[in-house]
Structure formats: structure tokens, C-alpha cells
A and B are shown apart, each in its own frame.
Chain A
């Protein structure tokens, strides 16, 4: 009875582990990718590629001198033909808006910073999912996470003998506990 029970557990664990493992492939890879991307949010922009271009103004201008002709001429230098609006964020600066781009002019410093924004392929999409930027996605995300726990737990139960959880497995599980435990100890000492 006991042997039969454990055999059934192992058999069902294999089935669940295999099929949910296949099913969750896209979820796991996308969340791992965005996890890495968002871990380094201070070092790069995980969502967008910002194409930047500096231009030097031939002379210093005042805000009053920034007219339609000047805006068009400066826009031409960064490959922009039509601007949407022009606005003054703070004295000495003017910002020109284009579709998906802007040109920030520092008039007294005689320079301009052009920025064109484009989505970072793949990362933008996976980050949208990981951050739950899509309404109601968190419920799917919760369900996937629960399934992922199930995949993990069933993975522990598939094998018996010297590669099973009660033998080699328990040491590897313990080894996996060490890095987060050590990190929490270090955090507690800080």
C-alpha cells in the first residue's frame, strides 16, 4: 500500500512536472529575462533604446529668439521636419517635441540634446508582463507562479534512490537555501 502510494505520487509528479514544465516555458524564460533587465534598472533603460544626439548651437540664444524658423532649422540638423509643440521648462531652456522624440535646447550653454525613443525589442514586452503593466495580468501571473511551485515540488518527488530527495537531493536543496540565507544574515547585520 505504501509502496503503491509512493509509486503513484512519483508517476503523477512526472506527468505534472513534464506537462506543466512544457506549458510554463515561455513564462519562465520571459520572467527570467525581465528579472535580469529590471535588476539593472539603474544601469540601463530596460524598456527603451534612447538614441541621443548632441548638437552645438552656433551662438547663445534667448527664449524670445527661438522662433519657428530657428526651431525648423535645428530640427533639420537632427533629421526632424515637423515638430508638435515648443515649450519652456525653465529659464534658459526650450524643449521641442516631435513624434517619439524631443530636442532639449540649453540656450545659454549653446547646446541641444536630441532624444529619440524606441522600444527595446523583447525586453519591453517581457517587462510589461513582469511589472503587471497590463490590467488584470497579475491574476494570470499568480496562477503561473502557483503552477511553477507545483512544477518544482513535483520535480523533487520524481526520483527515488541515490538521486532522490532523501539522498543527494536534500543536500542540493540545502545548498540552494544557503545564498538567500546568507544574504538575509548580511542584511540583518547591516
Chain B
């Protein structure tokens, strides 16, 4: 009893002198997961890995984020499940999932949350099983950042790429080719119109059309050809811009390239660069700010960013 007294006193002193935060909740250990669609194209994957390399340092320097990883939803490792297991093994309390996707689709809205155990969408559950995409419910709390269509990023990006191709705006029409989505076609169409309106205001190109190149269009180049011909019915020249996150030979070369090649006199009537939204310093900066903002909120009593 007497021998225990000094120890008890020491404990009382330590507790009394300790700063308030020693008694509060431990600081969150926050990771950022850059979750993208994935592709069989090495060029596509490299563009996403390059994004990771560019944003890693500024995110870590903020002191709010303690780890950054990139995951591919389909086709190749590291998958989302693999990365989340790594975050768990490294003791992360919170992971900010940044969907590097253009706009809403079943992937962003259903598949990724279902992979992470946040949802159990019937179609996603079955599709993930068939495609052998592993589901994993992490111990770390997950928080979702907005998609790329949030804010003026994409329209500014397209405007810059249009300016690089445009010669005489008054004689030109804009053609936007994107992946498309059957379920959210209205939203995708609204995004195309929003981009076109911005290009009209910024570059003076007032005629425009859009076409899909993905599953909704059966990967058929004819949709690209039709959109170009729609513009060429009124204008002398079409400026074709692929609205894809990254370069993938399948889309920018095979589908859009073939769609352009099928347009008569396309060499003189169509301006096209097989580029993509990435790389773009503005998107890097936005991504860093979005993740930092969410990470800063995690230290407060009520979490933010939950879907």
C-alpha cells in the first residue's frame, strides 16, 4: 500500500499536467485513395499513376493526409480492395476516396460503394462477382470526394484543348465525344451542353454536337462519325475533343479515330488531337484541395464528406 503511493502520485501528476489532447480522441490517420476505372491500356494506367505522383507530395506536405494510393476498379491490380487492405494494415482511421471519374455512372454511384461495403446494390453485387472484383469492407472509415464534373474543371480543360485546335472559330463546330452512360444519359448530356456553352463563350464556336463511344454506343465509331457530320452540315470544319479522363488506344485511336476516318475529306475538315483531360495542373490542384478540405474536416467532431 505504502510502496504504491509514489506511483499513484506520479500518475496523478502526469494526468494533471498532460495537455488536453492527451485525453481527447486520437488524431485521425487519414489516407487518400485515388480510385479510377482501370483499363487494359498501359498508357491509360500510366496517366493515373502519374496523377498519383504529382499530387502525392502536396497532399502529404499538408500534414492532414498521411498516405496516398491509387487503385484500379477493374482489369488490373492494385484493386480497390487491395489498397483498402493496405490502409487497414497500416492503421489508417479514415480514407478519402477520390473517384477519378468524369461524372456520375453506375461505377461511381453503385459499384465503388458496393466494393467498399457501403452499399449492396443488387446489380453491382452480381456484376462484381462475375467480373471477379473483390469486395472489402475496410475498418477505416471511408469518405467520398466529388467527381471531376464538380465545378468548372472539365469545361476549362476542354476550352484549353479546343483553343489548341481551333483556327477560325466562326467557321468551326465543336464535337465532344465521351463514354456515355445509359442510366445517367441526361446528366452526361447536361455536362456536354455545359462544356459546349463554355466553349461558345470562351472560343466563339457556337455550333456543337456530341456522341458516345462507350458501352451505350456499343463501342461503335459510327456515333462519332454522325456527330461530326451533324456539325459539318452547318460548318466547314469540326473540332473534335475526346472527353475522357485519360488516353486509351481503344477510345482515342480505334473508336474516335475510325469515326473520323469515315468522314469524307476528314483531313481538311476535321481537327483532332487524341488527348485526354489528364494531365492538367488545375485538376491536380483541385484534387489536392478537395482531399485536404475533407481531411481537415475529419478532425472535427462531426465527420464530413459522407455520401
A84 vs B110: C-alpha distance when bound (angstroms): 13
| Interface residue B254 (Cβ < 8 Å from any Cβ of A) | no
Q: A87-B109, A133-B131 are in contact. Are A117 and B126 (CB under 8 A)?
A: yes
Given the contacts A42-B218, A133-B130, A89 and B104 also touching, CB distance less than 8 Å: yes
Question: A58 at interface (Cβ–Cβ under 8 A)?
Answer: no
Which residues from chain A contact B131 at a C-beta distance below 8 Å?
Answer: 133
Give CA–CA (A128, B129) in the complex, Å: 9
A59 within 8 A of B: no
Is the C-beta of B160 less than 8 angstroms from some C-beta in chain A? no
A135–B133 Cα distance when bound, in Å, is 11
Q: A47 and B130: CB pair below 8 A?
A: yes
Across the interface, B187 reaches (CB within 8 A) one of A87, A90, A127, A131, namely A90
- Please report the C-alpha to C-alpha distance between residue A104 and residue B121 in the assembled complex, in whole angstroms: 12
List residues of chain A with CB within 8 A of the CB of B300.
Answer: none
Contact string, B91-129, partner A, CB cutoff 8 A, digits 1/0?
000000000000010000100000000011111001001
Closest chain-B Cβ to A141's Cβ sits at a distance in Å of 14
Residue B3 at the chain A interface, CB threshold 8 Å? no
The CB with the most chain B CB atoms within 10 A, among A85, A89, A115, is that of A89
A97 near B120: Cβ-Cβ < 8 Å = yes
The closest CB in chain B to the CB of A133 belongs to B130
Residue contact B109 to A102, C-beta cutoff 8 Å: no
Q: Are A100 and B122 in contact (CB under 8 A)?
A: yes
| Interface residue from A48, A90, A128 paired with B184 (Cβ < 8 Å) | A90
| Contact yes or no, A131 B120, CB < 8 A | no
B123→A117 contact, CB < 8 A: yes
Asked if B21 is at the interface (CB within 8 A of a chain A CB), the reply is no
Tell me whether B122 and A89 are in contact (CB under 8 A).
no
B104 CB, nearest partner CB in chain A, Å: 5
Q: How far is the CB of B74 from chain A (nearest CB, A)?
A: 13
Category for how many chain A residues contact B = 20 to 34
Residue of B nearest to A106 (CB): B186
* Closest A residue to B123 using CB positions: A117
Q: Which residues of B contact A65 (CB under 8 A)?
A: none
Q: How far is the CA of A119 from the CA of B121 in the complex (A)?
A: 15
Cβ-based interface call for A33 (8 A): no
User: Which residues does chain B contribute within 8 Å of A99, judged by CB atoms?
Assistant: 120, 122
- Give 1 or 0 for each of A67-103: 1 = CB within 8 Å of chain B CB: 0000000000000000011010110000101111110
- Chain B nearest Cβ from A187, distance in angstroms: 13
How far in angstroms is the closest Cβ of chain A from B143? 15
**Cα distance, A104 to B132, chains bound together (Å):** 26
Question: Cβ of B307 < 8 Å from any Cβ of A?
Answer: yes
Residues of A near B121 (CB, < 8 A) are 97, 102
Q: How many whole Å from A104's CB to the nearest CB in chain B?
A: 8
Known A89-B109, A90-B104, A90-B184; judge A135-B132 contact (CB<8 A): yes
A84-B120, A99-B122 given as contacts; is B109 within 8 A of A133 (CB)? no
Contact B122 A117 (CB under 8 A): yes
- Contact partner of A87 (CB less than 8 A), chosen from B130, B132, B307, is B307
| Distance (whole angstroms) from the CB of B187 to the closest CB of chain A | 5
Out of A97, A98, A131, name the residue touching B130 (CB < 8 Å).
A131
Once the chains are docked, how many angstroms separate the CA of A109 from the CA of B183? 14
Interface residues of A in 128-172 (CB under 8 A from B): 128, 131, 133, 135
A97 to B256, CA, bound (A): 36
Chain A nearest CB from B28 CB (Å) reads 24
Chain B residue with the shortest CB-CB distance to A109 = B186
A residues sitting closer than 8 Å to B (CB atoms) are 42, 47-48, 84-85, 87, 89-90, 95, 97-102, 104, 115-117, 119, 127-128, 131, 133, 135
